[in-house]
Amino acid sequence: MARPLVRSLLAAVVAAGASVTLSAPALAAPAPVAQPHTVAQEAATTTAEQHRVDAYWTAERMSSAAPAETRFAGNKAQAGGNGNGKGKKADTAVPATPQPELGKVFFTLGGTDYVCSGTATTSGNADVVTTAGHCLNEGPGAFATNFAFVPAYDEGAEPYGTWTAKELFTTTQWSQSGDFNHDVGYAVMNENSNGQSLTDVVGSYPIAFNLSRGLDYTAYGYPAASPFDGQTLWSCSGTATQDRRGSTDQGLKCSMTGGSSGGGWITGGKLNSVNSFKYTTDSSTMYGPYFGDVAQSVFNSAATA
């Protein structure tokens, strides 16, 4: 995908036409599954592996996990943006009451632990968490390991426990090309120790595709890059505007930073995008992918896995 301007992605900073060099894949290249837009990778599929991932995410590791954009430190601009750099002053995010449908996503890429945000999503299998593609796949490159979701995380509290993933899904466009127009991913979570599915325990937001553009949204996330600390939920509300700089994404005025990546955009009670990136020339606007046919196709695969 052409990148006409430097973007301060919540996952990366990319210059026009430049490629991103990522660490060597820890896993074999995943093969496409049934849907043409879908790439998937198995995660913690055995009981032993589920216990291992659950034990891996100690309170200390969760607290020290880095916002996803630090994977790309050393690029031409500060990743994530904090509302205090160049460009317009960002609208201030506001603290939000923790919700069981919303939580923090933890994962490992290249031997380093990272953090994003995610949303429990209504699905046929009652197990789907929606997040950004860059929160579960390098784009292009390897899928994450140690993927976990902590609903209603708040100052270290885990009122609904830690849920491990059994399979990760993202778009072919993201996994093979790092196409930010399709920066969306879905994790299918394992049942808990009581044999319960995620959304049967915490509830969920229904997901919507191919809605009109320019709707009113509330975006949620756990921003962890300065000046935030990633310990509490925040939100931004406003009317989405079309990106005029080269992507098909929509923008929302918001000062949230890295760590909020993957947090859901809610409109009319439905999930309809996720936090994805900011341009370095405008730290005031968060962009999220349009949920069209591609996002729907991948969701359909995850929802029946």
- Tens digits of per-residue pLDDT, 238-249? 999 999 988 899
As a whole number of angstroms, the distance between CA 290 and CA 287 comes to 10
Output the pLDDT for position 73: 53
* Residue 253: other Cβ atoms inside 10 A: 21
What is this structure's pTM? Answer: 0.86
Q: Which residues of the chain have pLDDT under 50?
A: 1-9, 11-34, 74-90
Residues of CATH 2.40.10.10 domain(s) within the chain? 31-71+103-205+293-303, 206-288
pLDDT of residue 72: 53
pLDDT given at position 74 = 39
pLDDT of residue 280: 81
CATH second-level architecture of 206-288? Beta Barrel (2.40)
Name the fold adopted by 31-71+103-205+293-303. Answer: Thrombin, subunit H (2.40.10)
Please tell me the predicted confidence (pLDDT) of residue 20.
28
**What is residue 30's predicted lDDT score, i.e. its pLDDT?**
41
